[in-house]
Amino acid sequence: MLRNVRGGVIKKRVVKRISRLLSAALLAALGWAATHDVAACNVPVFRYALERWPADAYRVTVFHRGELAAAQKEVVQALVAASESSANLVVAAVDAAKELPAHHKDAWNLVKDAALPTVLVQYPASAQTDRPLWSGPLTVENARSLVDSPARRQLAERLQKGESAVWLLLESGDAAQDKKVADLLAVETKRVEKEIELPPAAPDDPSMSADVPLRIAFSVLRVSRNDPAEQMFVRMLCGLREEVAKEKGPLVFPVFGRGRALDGFAGAQVTAELIENVIAFICGACSCEVKSMNPGVDLLVATDWDAALTGQAVKDPPLPALISLSALAAAGQTGQVAKAALAAAPAGPPASPLIRNVALVLLIVVVVIGALTAALVLKKRNR
CA distance 333 to 27: 51
Tell me the pLDDT tens digit for each residue of 221-280. 999 999 999 999 999 999 988 788 788 999 999 999 999 998 889 999 999 999 999 999
Write the CA distances from 188 to 33, 128, 169, 197, 266, integer angstroms: 41, 32, 14, 15, 17
> Which amino acid is present at 269?
Q
pLDDT in tens, 19-69: 444 434 433 433 333 333 344 588 999 999 999 999 999 999 999 999 999
| Domain 57-123+320-344, architecture per CATH | 3-Layer(aba) Sandwich (3.40)
pLDDT digits (tens, 9 = 90+) for 285-332: 887 767 888 889 999 999 999 888 876 544 443 433 333 333 333 333
| Cis amide linkage into residue 54, ω under 30° from 0 | no
Q: What is the pLDDT of residue 77?
A: 96
> CATH topology for 149-309?
Glutaredoxin (3.40.30)
CB atoms near residue 189 (< 10 Å): 22
At 372, the pLDDT band (50, 70, 90 cuts) reads low
Cα-only R_g, the chain: 26
Amino acid at 116: L
pLDDT tens digits for range 185-228: 999 999 999 999 999 988 888 888 778 889 999 999 999 999 99
* Residue 160 host element (H or E): helix 150-160
